[in-house]
Structure 1
Amino acid sequence: MKGTVLGFDNLTGEGVILNDQDVRYSFSKINWRDTLAPEKGQRVDFEPWGTMANNVFLDVRAGQFAPAADMSFKEAIQACFRRITDFQGRSRRKEYWYFRIFGIICSGLFSLISGDLRHSSGISVGLLEIVISLAWLYLFVVDLSVSVRRLHDINRSGWWTLLYLTVIGTIPLLIMMCFDTNPRINKWGYPAK
């Protein structure tokens, strides 16, 4: 169903959409499936669910989506963290690779900190190790979700991420992550760029 965003409040994470038949639907940040933030006046496509709008995407035909070159490093990282639980949408190549770089930097920092902690002892050191482990786990989930969305963007199933479990399978998977966005709408939504 098509509609227009009437407004969105960043503090509460909730907004309202008016469909083409003048019926209002509310939506929250978790229903928003696009990398760009919702703004008043945007044309969207969504699935009605009672009085709620679910799986809200920008309308590609309205030409409102930004090209991949416009996404900065910071915006890509923020988009990945904002969409941590989104295993259904699509993500741009730039978003995936920026988060991959961010993950490598964080893993290096975690390794340095953990290496220094091996020579120390105490309760605070143990707590810091737990915090580092939880942060690493959080980054892993974010990385998994952006990898699945990236595969969806090239019209592949997210199950291909299981290739990461094999040594030799990582190479073709990384090559697939370099493919350009499939320009057609698929079962995971509109093109990411």
Structure 2
Amino acid sequence: MAKTLKSCLQILLKLVNSTIGIVGISMIIYSMWMARVWQRHMEGSSDDFFRFSVLWFILGFLGIGITLVAITSFGHIAAHTTNAHCLSYYMVAIFFLLLVETALVADIILNSDWEEDFPEDPTGRFDDFKDFVKSNFNTCQWIGLFMVLAQGCSIVLATVLRTLEKDQARYCESDEDNTAPSLPFLYHPVEPLPYIAADLPAAPTSLYWC
């Protein structure tokens, strides 16, 4: 029963963790597309300022995507091995990711001038992305909620799997402690009983004359 429950938790953690990886891969592909479009735009431009400007939005999008893919890969390893330390590190990474996302959402909601916190984007992709989010706000909202829910479920599943793994380890250790004292009795050599040779009485001599 415990092995079946453990296998189900491993499968569920891998499935939930895969959603984070899909979002990360999508962000990597989108950032590569933006970089390609910017490169084509720069081929026909002679402005050195825009040519050597820092593409912070594209690089930031690419960095976030790579981070999500790395966390997903580590989560798959932790779910497959069910190592307590790997699961703990995975939970810390997901929790830190949730804190960063909460801080960004709080800054956007509470700060009306949140756009001024970011430097100017020479590519213009930041404005395009912002307009896309505004025009598809309901869809983006559901995607964000789904991501947060997936991350929360990942933490819960990793916690349960880590607790189950620790309980199994303690049970195995207790079994070893209980069986260890009984081993000397199982392999205790049995000493043979002492053998005493007794002198039988001699037969009467009269029997030999008959």
Shorter-chain TM-score tier: 0.3 to 0.5
Please identify the structure whose Cα radius of gyration is greater.
Answer: 2
- State the TM-score, normalizing by the size of structure 1: 0.34
* Structure with the higher helix share, 1 or 2: 2
- State the TM-score, normalizing by the size of structure 2: 0.32
* Structure with the higher strand share, 1 or 2: 1
